[in-house]
Each structure stands twice: as structure tokens, then as C-alpha cells.
Amino acid sequence: MLSAAIVGASGYTGGELLRLLDGHPRIEVRQATSERLAGRPVGAAHPNLRGRGGPTFRRADELEPADVVFLCLPHGQSSERIEALAPLAGTLVDLSADFRLRDPERQQRWYGPDAAPGWRRRFVYGLPESRRGELAGARLISGVGCNATAMILALLPLARAGWIERVVADLKVGSSEAGASSSESSHHPERSRAMRTFAPVGHRHQAEVCEQLDLSEDAVFVTVTAVEAVRGVLATCHVFLAAAAEVDEKAVWRLYRETYAGEPFVRLVNQRRGLHRLPDPKVLLGSNYCDVGFRLDGRGRRLVALAAIDNLVKGAAGSALQSLNVARGFAENEGLDFPGLHPV
């Protein structure tokens, strides 16, 4: 049984890791840190975990070595503390944005100065569907952006085939993307019933999409809108197809099926009839699945690719655990077999 520690375990992604690892047959969480809640049980922050056992919160300076350390820290803190934290971990998984981008120039442009030069290229991007080979045996794993995850999985087959000339991605997202700390924009009277576009251009997850899919930043355009939901991301990607691409409905089906054959957590949802004929985040809540679908414009030069996920699971804690399973040689679905709820 591997010992695990979660640094910053009182937030939403830390809570999801605690929940998922509670059912993992090979990993036991023995340490969970929170400066604010030190000395209190994890159920004090995560009431769904009451009575499930688990560690008592401790301060980060009391952290002891562990087989696996998950970092669930605010942006910028992992890179500032990586020199001290890395030696404590057999495998370290960082769920922040600090090590997602490998290109230092892109990091500077989208996130600012690099606080940990020399570490960036040592991390493997934690999305098994695109980096499974590199994740096998990896010791340092970076987290994924939830919006980037949905876009990448919607577009991955098309990018690999060279079909994308440019893409306009419109994302609808739930409030938990903003994290557990309140702000003016997440204050309930302001957030409730909102349909608010907060990133019409320049969302940082665009950089991940371009890097992971090897697309020019001049070919990817992203808009993000907050909607009335707590969890979930729906990416609707309008793909303008390259002139050389020979595309029809059968070719698109074949491409998606070949790309995702054998993927344990990607499902093709593309029916002609019925309420649930296309991806919908609501049916994925609590699960590590990504549902992917598409529609081809009748003129054949525009394809709408869709992907839906739970941002806290497949967009964060679930992909982190799936990546760890790959790195350690476990079955990918261990601790991740919850199918979601319906109705919610």
C-alpha cells in the first residue's frame, strides 16, 4: 500500500482527491495539510467525507516523506516550494498551472516569470490520452487545465490528422472553476443565474491547447462563459477544416473511433435522436469520464467538436490520479470507476 500526502487538501481539488483515493485499493492518504484547519478532521472541510476516516489536517511544515505527494496549491506556490517538496515524494503530482507549459517563453507570455527554472521540462503533462507513453514511470507529473482538457480531447483526433486550419472554442463553465475561496465574482448574489462571459479572449488554457496539440496560437481562439452550474465544462469547438482534409461523416467517425479505441475514460456520444444525443456535463458529475461528440456542417468545411467533463474530476483530481496510476503501472481505472449520477 502506497502512502500519499495531499498538500493544500482543504480546497475543492484536494477534497476530490481525498474522495477518489478513499476507494483506491493501492493508495492510502496518511497526510493532508491545511494551515487554516490544522488539527481538525478532513470532514471539517469536506462534509461528504464525514465518518470515512482519513488523516487529521496538519500544517505543511509538518509534512513527512511519502510515496506520493499531490500538490493542490494556488498558482505560483508550487514553483516557489518545489525544491523543498520534491525530495519528500517518490512521485510528485502538481495540480496547479505552475509546470503545465514546457516552453519557457510561452510560460513567460501567459503566466509571467518562471519561479523554478530548470524544473519545467522535468514534468510530464498529466493527460494520459495525449501523454500516456511519457507518463509511464514518470516521477514528476503536472496537472491539467480543466478547460484545456475539454478542448484537447474534443480536438485531439482532428489535430493528429492535420485537419485543423483554425478553431474557435466556446466554453461554458461552472462556478467551482473559481476555487473554494470566495471573491466578488463568485459571491452568490452575483454568480447565481449568471451567463457571464469573463474571458472573451486570452484565456490561459489556450496555451496548453496549442502546446499539446502542436497548433499555432494564431489558429486557436477561446472564449469562456460562466453559467448557472457548480461543476462542469462544455467545450463547443468550431473547427474550420484544412483545405486538404477529405472529410465526410464516415471519415470523422473513423477518426474519433481510432483515436479513442481502448481509452477507458473517453466516450463517443453522437446520436441523432434523444435528449442525451450529445455531450452534457450534467451526466458526468463526480466521474472521470469525458464525453466527446461532433457535428459536420452540411457544406463539409466546418466541424463542431464537443467535449463535456466534470472540471474537478477529469479536469483536475481525476486526471491526476489516472496519471499516477499510469506512472506506477496500476490499472488506469483504479479509484476512478464511479459512473456519475442521473438524474441530478
Report which of residues 182 and 125 the model is more confident about.
125
Task: Encode pLDDT of 257-307 as tens digits.
Answer: 999 999 999 999 999 899 999 999 999 999 999 999 999 987 778 999 999
All three cell numbers of 203: 484565456
pLDDT bin (cut points 50, 70, 90) of residue 144 is very high
Domain 2-122 has CATH 3.40.50.720: yes
> What's the pLDDT at 337?
94
Residue 189 has pLDDT above 90, yes or no: no
| Residues contacting residue 133 through CB under 8 Å, at least 6 positions apart | none
The hierarchical CATH code for the domain 147-311 is 3.30.360.10
Cα separation, 52 vs 55, whole angstroms = 10
pLDDT at 87: 96
SS3 3: strand
Strands (E) across the chain are located at 2-7, 27-33, 57-58, 66-71, 89-94, 124-125, 140-142, 164-173, 196-199, 220-226, 233-241, 266-268, 290-296, 302-309
- What is the phi-psi region of residue 15: left when phi exceeds 0, alpha when psi lies from -120 to 50, beta otherwise? alpha
Whether 145 has a pLDDT exceeding 90, the answer reads yes
Sign of the CA dihedral with 53 first, then 58, 60, and 65 last: negative
Asked if residue 178 has pLDDT above 90, the reply is: no
How many C-beta neighbours within 10 Å does residue 55 have? 18
Enter the pTM of the model: 0.96
Closest CA to 158 of 18, 4, 296: 296
Round to whole Å and give the CA distance between 255 and 245: 12
Report cis status (omega within 30 of 0) of the bond before 200.
no
Q: Which of 52, 4, 16, 14 is nearest to 35 (CA)?
A: 14
Each residue of 207-241: pLDDT tens digit?
999 999 999 999 999 999 999 999 999 999 999 99
User: Tell me, what's the pLDDT at 263?
Assistant: 98
Query: Among 54-58, 110-114, 263-267, 321-325, whose mean pLDDT is lowest?
Result: 110-114
3-state SS assignment for residue 303: strand
Coil/strand/helix, residue 285 = coil
Average pLDDT over residues 11-28: 97
- Give the active site residues: 146
**Residue 82: which pLDDT band, with cuts at 50, 70 and 90?**
very high
pLDDT reading at 152 higher than 90? yes
Q: Is the pLDDT of residue 154 over 80?
A: yes
**Measured distance CA(274)–CA(99) in Å, rounded:** 41
Q: Which residues contact 273 (CB under 8 A, 6 or more apart)?
A: none
Q: How far apart are CA 181 and CA 163, in angstroms?
A: 41
Q: If you average pLDDT over every residue of the chain, what do you get?
A: 95
Could you state, in order of their start, the residue ranges of all structural domains in the chain? 2-122, 147-311
Domains 2-122 and 147-311 share a fold: no
Rounded CA-CA distance 310/280 in Å is 10
Determine how β-strand 57-58 pairs with β-strand 66-71. Answer: unpaired
Q: What is the reported pLDDT for 60?
A: 95
Contact between 135 and 128 under an 8 Å Cβ cutoff? The reply is yes
**66, 91 contact by CB (below 8 A):** no
Angular region, 262: left φ>0, alpha ψ -120 to 50, beta rest: left
pLDDT at 182 exceeding the cut of 80:
no
144 and 100 Cβ atoms separated by less than 8 Å: yes
Percent of the chain scoring above 90 in pLDDT: 84
Radius of gyration of the chain (CA): 20
**CA atoms within 13 A of residue 336's CA, in its CB half-sphere:** 27
pLDDT of 192 reads: 86
Strand partners, 92: 69, 140
Please tell me the predicted confidence (pLDDT) of residue 193.
87
Does residue 117 carry a pLDDT above 90?
no
